[in-house]
Amino acid sequence: MHVMELPRRVVVGTEIISRVSEVIKELELGPKALVISGPNVKAVLEKNLSSALANSGFVCQWELVGASTFQEVERVAQIAHKIGAEFLVGVGGGKSIDIAKLASFESKMPFVSIPTSASHDGISSPFGSVKGMGRPYSIIAKPPIAIVADISVISRAPKHLLISGCGDLLSKKTAVRDWEIAHEKTGEYFGRYSANLAMLSANLVMDNAKAIGSMEKESFSVVVEALISSGVAAGIAGSSRPCSGSEHLFSHAMDIVAPGKGMHGEKCGMGTIMMAKLQGIDYQGIREALETIGAPTKATQIGATKEEIVKALVLARTIRKERYTILDEVKLTEGSASELAQAARVI
């Protein structure tokens, strides 16, 4: 048995920030909100968003957040209780939305997701990423009760954020295959519908790689909707399985081995090339799609060394020992990891 938890409202459009209050009002969440964001996002959106909320009778307090850590999540949860907030709003990229998501879970209150970039599928998934004790953690919480994605805002974000989102989406190719392998070898539950939904998101990126690389207007909607669908797939599965496999383990290992080098989705994309080769699926097509989009496919493009890539490949299998992937089948050594990275032209 597994439980499906999904957003109740998903609104995607252009110039819709001012309509956030309409969405929230329909959900009857109460009048008081704690809004979580970073300083740059607050400077750009606070006036319009606060005005729209105030005009509809909402009272909101903004809180700036730092690194995505357990301590920051706890701090925000305490503030929410202290001011008597009835719901949280996460406005920004991955960090702000993850903190809002986990703090809302801790506080037992709903949260609304307002992404300002298309950098990863956390904008809709029930999972949040935090750092602590020397390694990253993915924690299950609850999905946002509503998502309001304003394409006019998201399209103004730096291109490397869009590229990161595409890398995260393409990683569903190997994540789903890892899930199938786990089902075959360990009997782990495998959900065909959520797996197909995640694969659909990945295929949308591959089919629209040229338009995304050229940053055509319509491509932003494609990526945003694919990211939302990917997060929903995790909600349907009741786990991150359809969205996170060996390629994510590689990305997390890189966070440990070479912190600060490359964005999460960029490293997932590079990991996807290598894991796809191990799995025997079309790694060259994945590489070509990433190159067309403008994503890094070589270690040097994110400032990483050959030694760091090899070390991360060997370490990846130990990141989540309970999660069976292709890495449990192959058990890479430094020698075989180096051969794999060279064959996939990552180093």
Domain that holds residue 57: 9-154
202 in the same domain as 91: no
71 in the same domain as 217: no
**Of 154, 174, 198, which closes a domain?**
154
**Of 100, 124, 154, which closes a domain?**
154
Instruction: Count Cα neighbours of 23 within 13 Å in the Cβ-side half-sphere.
Output: 25
CATH of the domain at 212: 1.20.1090.10
pLDDT digit of tens for each residue in the chain (347 aa)? Answer: 667 778 899 999 999 988 888 899 999 998 999 999 999 999 989 988 998 899 889 999 999 998 888 899 999 999 999 999 999 999 998 889 999 999 999 999 999 999 999 988 888 988 888 876 556 667 788 889 999 999 999 999 999 999 999 999 999 999 999 999 999 999 999 999 999 999 999 999 999 999 999 998 889 999 999 999 999 999 899 889 999 999 999 999 999 999 999 999 999 999 999 999 999 999 999 999 999 999 999 999 999 999 999 999 999 999 988 999 999 999 999 999 999 999 999 99
310 in the same domain as 206: yes
The dihedral built from the CA positions of residue 332, 334, 336 and 341, taken in this order, carries a sign that is: positive
312 in the same domain as 272: yes
206 in the same domain as 102: no
CATH of the domain at 28: 3.40.50.1970
Is residue 3 one of the residues assigned to a domain?
Answer: no
207 in the same domain as 286: yes
167 in the same domain as 91: no
Is residue 211 one of the residues assigned to a domain?
Answer: yes
Q: How many whole angstroms separate alpha carbon 153 and alpha carbon 63?
A: 20
- Domains: count for the chain: 2
DSSP 209-220: HHHHHTT-HHHH
Given the DSSP bridges, would you call strands 87-92 and 127-132 parallel, antiparallel or unpaired? unpaired
**Of 103, 131, 154, which closes a domain?**
154
145 in the same domain as 190: no
Distances, alpha carbon 124 to alpha carbons 7, 141, 296, 343, 345, in Å: 7, 11, 25, 35, 33
194 in the same domain as 92: no
Residue corresponding to tokens 């359809």: 242
248 in the same domain as 234: yes
pTM of the full structure: 0.91
315 in the same domain as 214: yes
Q: How many whole angstroms separate alpha carbon 270 and alpha carbon 64?
A: 32
CB 178 within 8 A of CB 190: no
Beta bridge partners of 129: 138
Helices (H) and strands (E) in the chain, counts: 16, 8
308 in the same domain as 168: yes
